[in-house]
Amino acid sequence: MEDFQNRFINDQISKTLLVSVLMAGAFVGALYSGPLADHIGRKRSIIFGTAVNILGSVIQTAATDTSMMIAGRVIGGLSIGQLSMLVPLYQSEIAPKELRGRLITMQQFAITVGIAVSFWIDFGTINWEGSSSWRFPMGIRLIPAFILLFGMIFMPYSPRWLMAKGRDLEALKTIAFLRGNGSLSDQTVQMVFTEIKQSVVFEQKYTSQTYWEIFRSGHEHNRRRIWLGIAVQIFQQLTGINVAVYYAADIFSSAGVSGTTAALFANGVDGMVNVIATIPTIFFIDKWGRRPTLISGAISCSICMLILAIVLATHGLTDGTSNDIPIPEGTGSLSLLFTRNSTVVVMVFLYLFVACYAYSWGPVGWIYPAELYPQRLRAKALGITTAANWLFNFAISQLAPPMLSGIHWGTYLVFSILCGLMALMVYLEFPETKGKSLEEIDLIFSGQLKDDDLGVHHPATAAAALAQLERMKFSEKYSNRETSFGNAIEGALKRVADDGAVNNEELELTPLKNNVPLPSPSTT
């Protein structure tokens, strides 16, 4: 794409700027998409984000100078930040708990397909002359954008968002459409509605929706949740995947794959590995669980990075620094390793690394944060965690070039150590969310359920635990003197809050006794 470089990349600063403004836009887009999703809804926010994406793509495709290209990249970045947060949010709120991981993995699968297609389009247009060599790859992105734009028009609203807005009948109809073939009297539909409604009523009665609440601990442990979500998104970047993706051509060149065509072909293979390795997760993530997938992925990525470091340390390139490994005189090239075998080893383990990431941290890095937060804070909190992802995406993209040129094989050793530490952190700190409804995950963080308890999936247990949460919340308000009763009444209510005013066994025997009534189809 010589024409693109001649038009827009005059020096290293302009090259860095084109990358940076996209990620800066994504960072901002992720942050403001949270309040937007709460205000106008998940569905409308996705439609808006897609429209912004189309605008950015049109500007970039039609760009005639650097300033116009930068403007298009900023707008495109805003939409990428929005959609990378909104799509998992929407999927998590409409999906059945037994399929939630699979459906959110589809987003990551679509991302990997897009990356692979872009690699092969770049490879196919490498010999094109003029601006068509880059306008065509940029313009073709409009096709999936328009498909998403018009497809979302026919998608339902999130039932959880509808209930939070008091639109219970619409929520019930949506749940019936998603779970009960349109039947409002279906038992599963009524149980799901009841469980969600209990949670929404509890949140509206006892909690706030401010950003400050996200970083507050309390009985819900929101502070722990937000740090877990941020950690997952940061760890996803610290695997080193973007070093492999952004600088794959340079890495393959350092491994002896010379020429632009060969490097782009190697990139295309890399993209296909990414796609293929994501497929098993679509079918098995809700059986494997989040914790085992993240831990095994981190360990396998660590091993691959360690082997890459060893091979490049013992068969590395020379560039005149103290880290050089001498190469035989007369080779006439700095892009050759000692042997053909070592070149093959580097390529194989780079592909293996991509595969290990693709089945684990790639999809679960988006699944896990979308499951962590209570309804009233989910959009805002997910916006913060997604912004952290883009912030570290930018940081790694800026640090990788000086690391690769400065410490060479040490770069891979650093990421190997980081991946090992990530596996340990997941083992020690991350609760399992597989198979739990979003309301049950709330109860896990409140301490009312264990993350390995599989026998809790019905409204009776949720009702009992929510009753306990109400007592905990009242007890907390009493301790903070937020109540306005007389001392005698306060003391009596405190004892009720401590001892329990609701018999949990009774609730389990009569599942709908403590539930709010279902909305009547005749109501508005």
Q: Give the model's pLDDT for residue 332.
A: 35
Give percent of the chain with pLDDT exceeding 70: 75
Q: Give the model's pLDDT for residue 422.
A: 97
CATH code for the domain of 258: 1.20.1250.20
Same structural domain, 79 and 171? no
Does residue 437 fall inside a structural domain? Answer: no
Tens of pLDDT along 377-395?
999 999 999 999 999 998 8
Does residue 524 fall inside a structural domain? Answer: no
Same structural domain, 131 and 254? yes
Q: List the beta strands (DSSP E) in 310-466.
A: none
Same structural domain, 78 and 172? no
- Residue 270's nearest CA partner among 156, 181, 355, 372 is 355
- Domain end point (choices 386, 411, 429): 429
Same structural domain, 253 and 385? yes
Same structural domain, 175 and 123? no
Structure tokens at 343: 């070149």
Tens of pLDDT along 319-332?
444 444 444 343 33
Same structural domain, 108 and 190? no
Does residue 448 fall inside a structural domain? Answer: no
Same structural domain, 171 and 282? no
Same structural domain, 352 and 486? no
Same structural domain, 202 and 222? no
- Within 8 A by CB and 6+ apart from 448, the residues are 465, 468, 469
Same structural domain, 418 and 505? no
Q: 17-20: long-range contacts (C-beta < 8 A, 24 or more apart)?
A: 17/70, 18/69, 18/70, 18/73, 19/397, 20/394, 20/398
Domain enclosing residue 180, as ranges: 160-206+458-509
Same structural domain, 228 and 299? yes
Cα atoms in the Cβ-side hemisphere of radius 13 Å centred on 292: 9
- Domain end point (choices 429, 449, 470): 429
Does residue 522 fall inside a structural domain? Answer: no
Predicted structure pTM score: 0.80
Does residue 446 fall inside a structural domain? Answer: no
User: What is the mean predicted confidence (pLDDT) over 7-18?
Assistant: 75
Query: Would you say 86 and 42 are in contact if contact means Cβ atoms under 8 Å apart?
Result: yes
> How many structural domains comprise the chain?
2
Does residue 447 fall inside a structural domain? Answer: no
- Within 8 A by CB and 6+ apart from 360, the residues are 281, 293, 294, 296, 297, 298, 300, 301
Same structural domain, 253 and 383? yes
Q: What SS3 state is found at 409?
A: coil
Q: 258-264: long-range contacts (C-beta < 8 A, 24 or more apart)?
A: 258/333, 258/335, 260/126, 261/123, 261/126, 264/119, 264/122, 264/123, 264/126
Q: Give the H/E segment covering residue 516.
A: none
Q: Give the model's pLDDT for residue 325.
A: 40
Does residue 436 fall inside a structural domain? Answer: no
Query: Would you say 274 and 112 are in contact if contact means Cβ atoms under 8 Å apart?
Result: yes
Q: What SS3 state is found at 349?
A: helix
Tens of pLDDT along 469-495?
555 555 555 555 544 444 444 444 344
389 to each of 322, 366, 397, how far by Cα in Å?
34, 10, 12
Does residue 439 fall inside a structural domain? Answer: no
